Amino acid sequence: MADLLRTGLYDLHLRLGAKMVPFAGYEMPVQYPMGVLKEHLHTRAAAGLFDVSHMGQVILRAASGRAVDAALALEALVPVDLAGLAEGRQRYAMFTNAAGGILDDLMVANRGDHLFVVVNAACKGADIAHLRAHLALEVAEITDRALLALQGPAAEAALARLVPGVVAMRFMDVAVFGWGGAELWVSRSGYTGEDGFEVSVPDAQAVAFAEALLAMPEVAPIGLGARDSLRLEAGLCLYGHDIDTTTSPVEASLSWAIQKARRAGGVRAGGFPGAARILRELAEGPTRRRVGLLPEGRAPMREGVEIYAASEGGAPIGVISSGGFGPSINAPMAMACLPAGLAEGTTVYGDVRGKRLPARIAPLPFQPTTFKR
Amino acid sequence: MKYTEDHEWLRIEGDLVVVGITEHAAEALGDVVFVELPEPGTQVARGDEVCVIESVKAASDILAPVDGEIVAVNEALGDTPGLVNEDPLGKAWFFKMKLADLTVLDGFMDEAAYKDLIG
């Protein structure tokens, strides 16, 4: 796997018996000897440790030294109320383009004198260039820190053995703690639908920190395979699949991430790329939207499967953007962008190997979330 | 037991051939979550796609190893596809075939040759 980057935990992954695959320019663990299914179930039952160091970590600073000024500047690129984001809190956002599509999705945290942003690995180069091209902010990519996610019902108890202060955090809080001489940047968030944390740790202490967690009986290493089935059960989007430059946030059923302040009549309405389309879709409704699909029977409907309104004839009404088997719901599951008029409970048909199989439009998430609000 | 280059095993049972996939194949597929079986009575030709296996990772086909008739399928795999990972050489047989001439099996690999193939 020449030319692929490695995270600081690469050797640890090999020691743990990981199967490594290329992902977004990195050599990453897709699974460990436990296997995708058991890793998934372990995360929902106890705690899973994920290496997400391939993701981009970026600090944005305004000349004033105030996070709110960086937030106001960043609002020019996202349809999200960031000026209203309190210190010590984090929010989900997306970079939009002039056509109202999505360039990437990201997490933004207010850390008092700056914003801390986490972006997708595959997009991070373009995102940083985008930030630098459009904002009069200091844009500093953090390249000397690993990013680990600890997810699941036992995540709090496990992490608290190393960092007792995390028990006071609520969902989407961010805080800084010391551990073994390292400064940990902790957020109570994740990509599994479970309670859990993401922890930015200096490269020098990253392996020791991961090993300290993995030494605990409830913590197991989890690869990208289970990360994908966990996020899909939780109804979360994967950039480049469920959302891309052609889907607007409204079509993607992400309107909840667009707060009142940025909507028509809000105190800072519009003022982001693609505002005309996005505000119109908020007012009038989109023509299509991302929905959950529960196939009847056991056959998974995977990405690329065409969806039809009827069991015979007609043109496709959409395509599955993510699909697979949900180990916790013990059933196949999928997401697709479909005509907005179709109500929950409607049966549509996926073309699987030339046969149209029924699937029901279902609410998301498939698996109830367990965030500690 | 005989083996194909598609990582299937073939076991003679009276005048029938029982077909399954090897441990190596099951391991490579990952956790199997769905198996689609053919209808008993189907006539198949060597290389026909007769079963679909879906794992947590991807879909794969099982090909008919020889010409013949599918005379029985392992219905247990419909309800318990995980048997393919638990017991690929035993409980997770896929189908039984009736062949015009069992000597065609002589052309397949024995265990030693298959082990050489998978290294």
**pLDDT tens across A28-74, in order?**
999 999 999 999 999 999 999 999 999 999 999 999 999 999 999 99
Q: Residue A2 above 80 pLDDT? A: no
The whole-number pLDDT of residue A37 equals 96
**Among A37, A298, A299, whose Cβ lies nearest the Cβ of B56?**
A37
Does A133 map to a domain?
A: no
Query: CA A105, A107, A112 angle in degrees (round to 5)?
Result: 145
The secondary element (H helix, E strand) that includes residue A94 is strand A90-96
pLDDT number for residue A219? 98
Q: Mean pLDDT, to the nearest integer, of A161-167? A: 98
Convert the pLDDT of each residue in B70-98 to its tens digit: 999 999 999 999 999 999 999 999 999 99
Return the percent helix, strand and coil in chain A, to nearest 5.
25, 35, 45
Q: CB-CB: which of A38, A300, A327 is closest to B54?
A: A300
Structural domain of A168: 10-53+143-233
Mean pLDDT of A340-361: 96
**B87: buried, middle or exposed (CB in 10 Å: 19+, 13-18, 0-12)?**
middle
Instruction: Report the number of distinct structural domains present in chain A.
Output: 2
User: Rounded to whole angstroms, how far apart are CA atoms A147 and A185?
Assistant: 9
If asked whether residues A38 and A172 sit together in one domain, one would say yes
- Tell me the C-alpha distance between B53 and B76, whole Å: 14
What is residue B58's predicted lDDT score, i.e. its pLDDT?
87
A327–B54 C-beta distance less than 8 A: no
Please give the full DSSP string across B61-99, using - where no structure is assigned. EEE-SSSEEEEEE-THHHH-TTHHHH-TTTTT--EEEE-
**Cα–Cα dist A343/A356, whole Å:** 20
Q: Give the ipTM of the model, two decimals please.
A: 0.86
Closest CA to A196 of A23, A369, A13, A78: A369
Q: Are residues A148 and A218 in the same domain?
A: yes
pLDDT score of A252? 98
In a mutational test of the A interface, the residue from B27, B31, B53 whose CB has the highest number of chain A CBs within 10 Å is B31
Residue after which a domain boundary falls, among A193, A215, A233: A233
Supply A41's token pair.
């179930």
- Residue A202 sits in a domain of what CATH number? 3.30.1360.120
- In sequence order, what are the residues at sequence separation of 6 or more whose Cβ sits closer than 8 angstroms to the Cβ of residue A23? A30, A54, A121, A224
Nearest to A229 among B34, B54, B56 (CB): B56
Q: Would you say A104 and A96 are in contact if contact means Cβ atoms under 8 Å apart? A: no
* Helix/strand/coil for A316: coil
Contacts of A325 in chain B (CB under 8 A): 33-34, 54, 56
> Given a cut of 70, is residue A161 above it in pLDDT?
yes
Chain B residue nearest residue A230, CA to CA: B56
In the prediction, which pLDDT does A1 show? 56
% residues pLDDT > 70 (chain B): 100
Q: What is the pLDDT of residue A14?
A: 98
Task: Provide CB contacts within 8 A for A177, sequence distance 6+.
Answer: A163, A165, A166, A183, A184, A186
Is the minimum CB–CB distance between B68 and chain A shorter than 8 Å? no
Nearest to B34 among A35, A37, A298 (CB): A298
| Inter-CA distances, A271 with A77, A79, A91, A98, A274, Å | 8, 8, 19, 11, 9
**Residue B75: what pLDDT?**
96
Mean pLDDT on A142-165: 98
A302 and A187 assigned to the same domain:
no
CB within 8 Å of chain A, chain B residues 5-24: none
- Identify all chain A residues contacting B85, using CB atoms and an 8 Å cutoff: 35
Mean pLDDT of chain B: 94
- Averaged over B65-69, what is the pLDDT? 95
Distance of alpha carbon B24 from its chain centroid, rounded? 13
What pLDDT is stored for residue B102 in this prediction?
Answer: 87
Distance from the B14 Cα atom to the nearest Cα atom in chain A, whole angstroms: 33
Q: Are residues A148 and A228 in the same domain?
A: yes
Are B34 and A300 within 8 A, CB to CB? Answer: yes
Domain boundary among A194, A211, A233: A233
Q: What is the mean pLDDT of residues B41-60?
A: 94
- Reading the block at residue A2, the tokens are 């020449």
In chain A, whose CA is at the least distance from the CA of B33?
Answer: A325
- Rounded to the nearest 10 degrees, the angle between the axes of helix A36-45 and helix A224-233 is 60
Say how many C-beta atoms besides its own lie within 10 A of residue A212's C-beta.
Answer: 17
What digits encode the pLDDT tens for the residues A64-104?
A: 999 999 999 999 999 999 999 999 999 999 999 999 999 99
Indicate which CATH number applies to the domain containing A291: 2.40.30.110
Residues A344, A207, single domain; the answer is no
DSSP SS3 for A170: coil
Q: Which of A233, A267, A295 is the last residue of a domain?
A: A233
pLDDT over threshold 60, residue A197: yes
How many Å apart are CA B40 and CA B72, to the nearest integer?
5
Say whether residue B69 is in contact with chain A using an 8 A CB cutoff.
no
| pLDDT tens per residue, range A304-337 | 999 999 999 999 999 999 999 999 999 999 999 9
Please indicate if any CB of chain A lies within 8 Å of the CB of B36: yes
B119 pLDDT more than 90: no
| A21 and A150 housed in the same domain | yes
The answer to whether residue A321 sits within a structural domain is: yes
Q: pLDDT digit string (tens) for A123-136?
A: 999 999 999 999 99
Domains with residue ranges and CATH for chain B: 2-101 (2.40.50.100)
